[in-house]
Amino acid sequence: MLAEQAGLDLATVLTAVADGAGSSDMFEVRGPAMAAGDYSGPGVTTTVFDKDLQIIAGFARETGTPTPLFTMATSFYTAALAQGHADDDTACVHAVLRSMAGRSPGC
C-alpha cells in the first residue's frame, strides 16, 4: 500500500523487493496478487487461515505467551472476513489496507 499510495509502479516495486533482502516466498506468491487486486489464486483461503489463527491464539493463551504482533496482524484477517473475503486467498488483506487508505477494494 505504501508503494501504491506513493504512485510507484507496482511491477517495478515487486521486482526490486523480490531481488533484495525484503523478499520471501510469500512475498513472491502473494505480492503479484496484491498488486493485481486478484485474490482468487490457489493459495490458502481466509476462512482456512482464520482457523489456523484461532489455533495459534488458543495455544498462546494456554501457554500464557504474549503475542502482540500476532494479535495485531490477526485483526486484518478478521477485517477481511467481515468484508466478505472468506473464500479469497489471504492476499485479500491488501483489500483491507486499501479500504483503510480510503481507496476502493480493487486495484
Please tell me the predicted confidence (pLDDT) of residue 76.
96
* Cell 483503510, residue located: 100
Given a cut of 90, whether residue 67 has pLDDT beyond it is: yes
Which tens digits make up the pLDDT trace of 22-43? Answer: 888 888 888 888 988 899 977 8
> Rounded to two decimals, what is the model's pTM?
0.82
Q: How far apart are CA 29 and CA 25, in angstroms?
A: 6
93 CB-side CA count, 13 A: 18
Residues contacting residue 6 through CB under 8 Å, at least 6 positions apart: none
Class of the 2-100 domain?
mainly alpha
Q: How far apart are CA 83 and CA 54, in angstroms?
A: 19
What are the residue ranges spanned by the domains of the chain?
A: 2-100
* Confidence class for position 49, pLDDT limits 50, 70, 90: very high
